[in-house]
Amino acid sequence: MDILNKMKKTPGGLLIIPMLIVAIINTFFPQILQVGNPTTALFTNKGTMVLIGLMLFFSGTQCRIFEIKVMIKRVGPLCLTKVVIAYGIGVLVSKYFRAEGFLGISIVTIIAVLTSCNPGLYLALINSYGDEVDASAFGLLNLIVVPAVPITILSATGGQGIDINTIIATLFPFLLGILLGNLDENFKKLYSNGTSMLLPFMGISFGANINIIVALEAGVSGIIVTILFYLFGLLPLYIIERVLMKRSGNISIAMSSIAGLSLVVPTLAAELNPTYEKFIQVSIAQIAFGVILTTIVTPLLIKNISKSL
């Protein structure tokens, strides 16, 4: 049975297929995954941050110092634009609609989605539609995907401070990987397939955050959230990459999917500000809907747009 190659034929399949399978299990038979460690730690969302740390480290070992300038040149403007847009919309929503947001979509959901990026899916897609420098940008993308970014924006719009420790903690594995990979070429060889090996487990971790029934209950608001994500989270980035950067646009598309990790933002936001507590359940449902939909749509977008170029 040639299962692996069949998975690889699906854009982002190494991440998407395990994610959807575990999402189904988590929806209908969640007790299966709660039998105890190490099974629970490996096949649920318990190890999400460990996996992200490892992927940051592995991608860092593959990053040559002389490529960093090119990497930042390619992805830096897109990441910065994404954060600036999210912050700007956060300020506007906070000013005119307050925490409740609009159309049943709270500011927590809006910021969590607009700042979201699924680096695992990005890596899976860019392996097919990009080059090694594009792939090395995985580490940079992880700097904006961590919950610290939306929480920081929510804090800024709410008048609270920035957690520098979280930023340092995110940078450290990536920088350590860069250091070791550049000091000794053997580390680069040792971890050359590390990110590919972790993709299915990243998919499992994200899938364990998703309850399909709860996601579908988001209904129309979940669709609106997804449309807003593509309208403000993809279109400006695609225009910048194509028109200003004179590139294919594959990077902006590949980085435009909502990550399962964003599902933790509503809970963290409520811990920061009790005002957000009443939005938690609805927000999680809306984000989960967006995770499922963008995980399906984004690979199709990059596949069809790449063919048309």
Residue 88 covered by a domain? yes
Q: Is-contact 203 120, C-beta < 8 A?
A: yes
Q: Is 282 in contact with 218 (CB distance < 8 Å)?
A: yes
Is residue 34 included in any domain, yes or no?
Answer: yes
What tokens were used for 236?
Answer: 């400006």
Backbone angles phi, psi at 105, to 5 degrees: -110, 110
CATH number, domain with residue 252: 1.20.1530.20
How many whole angstroms separate alpha carbon 175 and alpha carbon 143?
Answer: 12
Number of domains in the chain: 1
Note whether residue 196 is domain-resident: yes
For residue 162, the model assigns a pLDDT of 62
Per-residue model confidence (pLDDT) at position 263: 80
Summarised one tens digit per residue, pLDDT across range 55-101 is: 778 878 877 777 777 778 888 899 999 999 999 999 999 989 988 99
**Which pLDDT does position 158 carry in this prediction?**
65
- For residue 159, the model assigns a pLDDT of 58
Owning domain of residue 251: 15-303
Cis peptide, bond prior to residue 150, ω within 30 of zero: no
- Asked if 11 and 300 count as a contact pair (C-beta separation under 8 A), the reply is yes
In a domain, 5, yes or no: no
Query: Does 6 reside within a domain?
Result: no
In the chain, which residues have pLDDT < 50? none
DSSP string, 204-245: HHHHTT--HHHHHHTHHHHHHHHHHHHHHHTHHHHHIIIIIS
DSSP string, 289-300: HHHHHHHHHHHH
Q: Which residues contact residue 309 at a Cβ distance below 8 angstroms, ignoring those fewer than 6 apart?
A: 248, 249
95 CB burial (10 A radius; 0-12, 13-18, 19+): exposed
What residue type is assigned to position 123 of the chain? L
- Asked if 83 and 246 count as a contact pair (C-beta separation under 8 A), the reply is no
Q: What is the pLDDT of residue 118?
A: 86
4 assigned to some structural domain: no
- Is residue 309 in a domain? no
Separation between Cα atoms, residue 63 and residue 70, nearest integer Å? 11
Residue 308 lies in a domain: no
Provide Rg for the chain, Cα atoms.
18
pLDDT of residue 11: 61
pLDDT at site 110? 96
Tell me how far apart the alpha carbons of residues 241 and 237 are, in angstroms, rounded to a whole number: 6
For position 86, what pLDDT does the model report? 95
